[in-house]
Amino acid sequence: MPEKSVYSANAHLSPIVVTSNVRVEEAAPLVRLSLRGGEAAASHAGASIGAPLPLEPLTSTMADKAAAFWLGPDEWQIAIQEGDATAVFERVETAMADTPHSLVDVSERNRALIISGPKAAWLLNSQIFLDFDEAVFPVGMVTRTLFGKADIMLWRQSEDIFVLEAWRSFMPYVIELLQEASRELEAA
Amino acid sequence: MLLITCPYCGVERPEIEFRYAGEAHIARPAEPSKLTDEEWAEYLYMRTNPKGLLAERWRHAHGCGRFFNAIRDTVSDRFVTIYKMGEAKPDLERLVVEAAQ
């Protein structure tokens, strides 16, 4: 897995949570595409972004400045570190040619948080009912699930780094719950 | 809380990620306008409501978003079988016999 991830902390914003063992930061803006279609559409899209789209459930693939996430048997999210969303969209859309598919630019729909540190899984477990043991939630696994009452997408980027994406209107709710849990973590 | 296995994701997840979607294998009549009111009411409202095994639809609403079918025991709340959309309905009587053994 490349060291440089498609997600990087937004340098213009101060971190949301900083404690001795966990850190939560807002991710820098990205181009995000939502793709629905069959495996043929997935292979065309994969070729155009330089990372084959994952076909195994709950897995992800990474390229230099792009990542692709399996969200359903015919649904993927593509994240690309690039300034011009329209140009990226056109490039992927052109690569699909006549393959039946639906491609939507959802760059502005989501915000992402980067949760890192030895207690990152602990912090997430304050609201997520999933087992983050590496045997069942290995690095690279991606899933949609619930964070409290908010729908989120969660990706394990490395052992101690998680990326949490949620619709932007849910983000204040997610952030405040994370801040509350981090105070509990500090007090413990 | 129930733990339910999603046949598309292949993992066991808590019940809150899922939505119940009624009894499975109820086909919409091809030509509703040719049915009598009784037949239409039968399709719309009448369900088997058994005490025991029931084939029902579930949706992994907060995961992959897919509908799937499941056989659940309405007495013990236990999931006996989970299968993908489009797959044939298992023989419930045979499942009852297997469960008894």
Per-residue pLDDT reduced to its tens digit, A66-109: 999 999 999 999 999 987 888 999 999 999 888 999 999 999 99
3-state secondary structure chain A: CCCCCCCCECCCCCCCEECCCCEEEEECCCEEEEEEECHHHHHHHHHHHCCCCCCCCCCEEECCCEEEEEEECCEEEEEECCCCHHHHHHHHHHHHCCCCEEEEECCCCEEEEEEECCCHHHHHCCCCCCCCCCCCCCCCCEEEEEECCEEEEEEEEECCEEEEEEEHHHHHHHHHHHHHHHHHHHHC
What pLDDT sits at residue B96? 83
Q: Domains in chain B and their CATH numbers?
A: 3-100 (3.30.2270.10)
Structure tokens at A126: 């304050």
* Contact (Cβ atoms closer than 8 angstroms) between residue A69 and residue A110: no
Give the SS3 label for residue B84. strand
Chain B residue numbers with beta carbons less than 8 Å from the beta carbon of A136 are 11
Task: List per-block mean pLDDT (blocks of 10 residues) for chain B, which spans 101 residues.
Answer: 93 95 94 95 94 95 95 93 93 83 75
Give the SS3 label for residue B12. strand
Domain A31-105 is in which class? alpha beta
- Supply the ipTM of this predicted assembly: 0.86
Q: In what order do the strands lie in the sheet with B79-84?
A: B19-23, B53-59, B67-73, B79-84
Percent above pLDDT 70 for chain A: 98
CB pair distance less than 8 Å for A151 and B62? yes
∠ CA B11-A136-A156, nearest 5°, is 100
Chain B: give the shortest CA distance to residue A116, in Å: 23
Per-residue pLDDT reduced to its tens digit, A36-77: 999 999 999 999 988 899 999 999 999 888 999 999 999 999
- Cα–Cα dist A128/B100, whole Å: 37
CB pair distance less than 8 Å for A143 and B63? yes
Per-residue pLDDT reduced to its tens digit, A132-144: 999 999 999 999 9
What pLDDT sits at residue B1? 80
Closest CB to A145 among B8, B62, B65 = B62
- Cα–Cα dist B24/A104, whole Å: 32
* Contact (Cβ atoms closer than 8 angstroms) between residue B68 and residue A148: no
Domain range summary for chain A, segments of one domain joined by + = 17-28+109-187, 31-105
Q: Which amino acid is at A141?
A: M
Write down the residue that tokens 């659940």 correspond to. Answer: B72
- Cα–Cα dist B60/B77, whole Å: 18
* Contact (Cβ atoms closer than 8 angstroms) between residue A51 and residue A68: yes
- CATH of range A17-28+109-187; options 3.30.450.20, 3.40.220.10, 3.30.1360.120, 2.40.160.60: 3.30.1360.120
Which uninterrupted H or E stretch holds B96?
helix B92-100
Closest CB to B63 among A129, A136, A144 = A144
What pLDDT sits at residue A4? 64
* pLDDT for A169 beyond 50: yes
User: Do A17-28+109-187 and A31-105 come out as alike in CATH topology?
Assistant: no
Interface test with B, best of A58, A76, A131 (most B CBs within 10 A): A58
Of A40 and A1, the structure prediction assigns the larger pLDDT to A40
What pLDDT sits at residue A2? 42
Write down the residue that tokens 């932007």 correspond to. Answer: A168
Chain B: give the shortest CA distance to residue A111, in Å: 18
Which residues, 6+ apart, have CB-to-CB distance to B100 below 8 Å?
none
Given pLDDT bands bounded at 50, 70 and 90, which one contains residue A31? very high
Q: Which amino acid is at A28?
A: A
Q: Touching check for A72 and chain B: CB below 8 Å?
A: yes
pTM value is 0.90
- Cα–Cα dist A35/A143, whole Å: 16
Distances (CA, A) of A95 to A52, A78, A90, B2: 13, 14, 9, 43
